[in-house]
């Protein structure tokens, strides 16, 4: 018999959906390799498809499918799959639940689209054919076509939009999004579970409108997530600007005070000289030089913005017992002052956070900044813990924040964004207890 094969084809078309389940997660979040996960998913869906086809025939009544039994078996098969999938992915439960709801929603949309298409092709014989135990080749082809048309778009959404936004969501945003998506999915499922397709074209318009509305709802939600991320990054940048302003103000005030005191020092030296007290003059000049020498500690380059940021963090690093080695060769104004603040501020603040996690005798901070051939080269190396070594050079997406547990850090992303703004690139590496940041900027 050929017709039962049509029913088997329908269940086998769960495989493309299962192949998407690992897409919105990084390789490091998977307990097995991505290839093994995909093979296991496909194998399970083939096995489940055969089981469902056999069970569907066993519980049929007079050649017509038992819809309730079919759905119960389908629910059991999916529950086993989702349990195995959840065990294979290392991510917060709410995030995995959110991905599962999105994929179930996609499966429901495919089913609704296929039913509408099959009805227009089969006409009045649709209801009899579609509920028959043998299944329908027309429906299977409609489902295959709908999957082929939408699968690349869904893959792009999962791989780029969801993958970029999911790790940045905090628990409150994930729970809000989960409740939002669950409501949308349940409403769609209730409206399309067993609709009167014979009422045409009204039902086609209703299902099409619901599908478009759900797509808009997803778009709005993730636009809000992106806006929240940009706002958080803006707040982070503002904090760096305020830090730089306070440091510069402190330095200006210190220089103003020392210039004001210079007149008194000159008067004192003149009086000592008139009295012929050469020994006292030598002692006084020695103390005077030590005080003013502090101003020269931060004269590392000709860029006052870079000096301000470097001076703040290097003083902090030395106070915390860090062995500092700094080589800087810069001219003033080679890049926008705000970009310089964001770039150096994020590099050095991340370094300080990592340094505090290691013993004092292992703390090391090496800074090398210079220009060469129309590009700005920056390298920061700092000690860090030996966990989560990446080995080779990689992108910022592979590192989690030290402040926001389970989330990507905004600092590394800001560094990468600054490099991209100037047509350059940023590379990161964590290996053998050292974290390295290498940034190349094309100078305007």
pLDDT of 418 over the 80 cut? yes
Closest CA to 354 of 377, 381, 327: 381
| 219 in any annotated domain | no
Q: What is the pLDDT of residues 250-305, one digit of tens each?
A: 666 666 666 656 666 677 777 777 878 778 777 777 766 655 555 455 456 677 77
Residues with Cβ within 8 Å of 244's Cβ and at least 6 positions away in sequence, in order, are 305, 308, 309, 312, 341, 345
Q: Could you tell me which residue, 344 or 444, shows the higher pLDDT?
A: 344
Domain hosting residue 363, numbered range? 300-444
| 272 in any annotated domain | no
Q: Residue 161 — very low, low, confident or very high, per pLDDT cuts 50/70/90?
A: confident
Q: Residue 40 — very low, low, confident or very high, per pLDDT cuts 50/70/90?
A: very high
pLDDT value, residue 7: 67
192 and 324 in a single domain? The answer is no
Domain limit, last residue, from 181, 200, 219: 200
Alpha-carbon separation of residue 401 from 288, 316, 350, 351, 426 (angstroms): 45, 21, 9, 12, 17
CB 355 within 8 A of CB 385: no
Q: Residue 406 — very low, low, confident or very high, per pLDDT cuts 50/70/90?
A: very low
Least confident of 132-136, 192-196, 211-215: 132-136
DSSP 307-357: HHHHHHHHHHHHHTT-EEEEEE---TTSS-HHHHHHHHHHHHHHHHHHHTT
Q: What is the pLDDT of residues 80-125, one digit of tens each?
A: 999 999 999 988 888 888 899 999 999 988 888 888 888 888 877 7
Alpha-carbon separation of residue 387 from 110, 392, 432, 435 (angstroms): 43, 14, 9, 11
Residue 443 CA to residue 369 CA, distance in Å, equals: 13
Q: Residue 405 — very low, low, confident or very high, per pLDDT cuts 50/70/90?
A: very low
Distance of CA 3 to the CA centre of its chain: 47
304 and 185 in a single domain? The answer is no
pLDDT value, residue 396: 57
Q: Average pLDDT, stretch 149-158? A: 91
183 and 48 in a single domain? The answer is yes
Q: Average pLDDT, stretch 318-346? A: 85
311 and 196 in a single domain? The answer is no
| 228 in any annotated domain | no
| 57 in any annotated domain | yes
pLDDT value, residue 81: 93
pLDDT value, residue 185: 87
| 145 in any annotated domain | yes
CATH number, domain of 311, equals 3.30.565.10
| 178 in any annotated domain | yes
pLDDT of 381 over the 90 cut? yes
Q: Which helix (H) or strand (E) holds 38?
A: helix 34-58
Here the tokens at position 122 are 């089969």
Domain limit, last residue, from 200, 233, 249: 200
Count the neighbouring beta carbons within 10 Å of the beta carbon of residue 223: 12
190 and 313 in a single domain? The answer is no
pLDDT of 2 over the 70 cut? no
Q: Average pLDDT, stretch 345-351? A: 88
306 and 188 in a single domain? The answer is no
pLDDT value, residue 404: 46
Domain limit, last residue, from 174, 200, 226: 200
Least confident of 68-72, 251-255, 307-311, 436-440: 251-255
Average pLDDT, the chain: 79
pLDDT value, residue 84: 93
| 214 in any annotated domain | no
Total domains, the chain: 2
Residue 120 CA to residue 132 CA, distance in Å, equals: 18
| 138 in any annotated domain | yes
Least confident of 3-12, 41-50, 208-217, 323-332: 3-12
In percent, the amount of the chain with pLDDT more than 90 equals 14
Q: Could you tell me which residue, 70 or 357, shows the higher pLDDT?
A: 357
Q: Average pLDDT, stretch 335-360? A: 87
Q: 249-264 burial, b for 16+ CB within 10 Å, e for fewer? A: eebeeeeeeeeeeeee
Q: Average pLDDT, stretch 205-216? A: 84
Q: Which helix (H) or strand (E) holds 382?
A: strand 375-383
């Amino acid at each position: 018999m050929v017709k039962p094969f049509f029913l088997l084809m329908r269940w086998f078309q769960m495989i493309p959906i299962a192949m998407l389940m690992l897409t919105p997660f990084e390789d490091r979040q998977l307990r097995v390799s991505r290839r093994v996960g995909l093979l296991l998913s496909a194998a399970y869906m083939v096995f489940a498809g055969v089981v469902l086809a056999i069970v569907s025939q066993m519980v049929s009544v007079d050649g017509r499918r038992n819809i309730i039994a079919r759905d119960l078996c389908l629910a059991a098969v999916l529950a086993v799959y989702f349990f195995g999938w959840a065990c294979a992915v290392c991510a917060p439960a709410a995030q995995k639940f959110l991905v599962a709801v999105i994929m179930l929603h996609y499966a429901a949309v495919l089913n609704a689209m296929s039913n509408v298409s099959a009805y227009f092709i089969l006409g009045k014989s649709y209801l009899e054919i579609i509920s028959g135990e043998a299944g329908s080749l027309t429906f299977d082809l409609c489902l295959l076509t709908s999957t082929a048309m939408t699968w690349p778009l869904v893959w792009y959404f999962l791989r780029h939009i969801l993958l970029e936004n999911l790790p940045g969501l905090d628990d409150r945003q994930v729970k809000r999004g989960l409740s939002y998506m669950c409501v949308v999915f349940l409403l769609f499922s209730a409206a399309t579970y067993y609709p009167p397709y014979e009422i045409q074209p009204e039902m086609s318009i209703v299902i099409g409108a619901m599908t478009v509305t759900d797509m808009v709802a997803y778009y709005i939600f993730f636009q809000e997530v992106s806006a929240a991320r940009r706002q958080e990054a803006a707040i982070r940048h503002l904090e760096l600007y305020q830090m730089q302003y306070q440091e510069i103000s402190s330095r200006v005030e210190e220089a103003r005070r020392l210039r004001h005191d210079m007149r008194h020092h000159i008067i004192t030296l003149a009086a000592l000289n008139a009295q012929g007290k050469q020994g006292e003059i030598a002692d006084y000049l020695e103390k005077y030089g030590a005080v003013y020498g502090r101003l020269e500690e931060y004269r590392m380059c000709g860029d006052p913005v870079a000096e301000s940021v470097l001076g703040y963090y290097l003083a902090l690093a030395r106070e915390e017992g860090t062995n500092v080695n700094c080589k800087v060769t810069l001219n003033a104004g080679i890049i926008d002052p705000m970009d310089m603040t964001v770039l150096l501020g994020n590099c050095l603040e991340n370094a300080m956070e990592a340094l505090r996690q290691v013993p004092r005798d292992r703390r090391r901070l090496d800074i090398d900044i210079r220009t060469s051939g129309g590009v700005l080269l920056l390298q920061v190396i700092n000690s860090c813990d030996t966990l989560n070594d990446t080995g080779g050079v990689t992108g910022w997406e592979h590192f989690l924040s030290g402040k926001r547990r389970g989330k990507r850090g905004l600092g590394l992303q800001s560094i990468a964004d600054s490099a991209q703004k100037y047509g350059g690139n940023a590379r990161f590496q964590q290996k053998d207890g050292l974290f390295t940041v290498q940034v190349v900027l094309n100078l305007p």
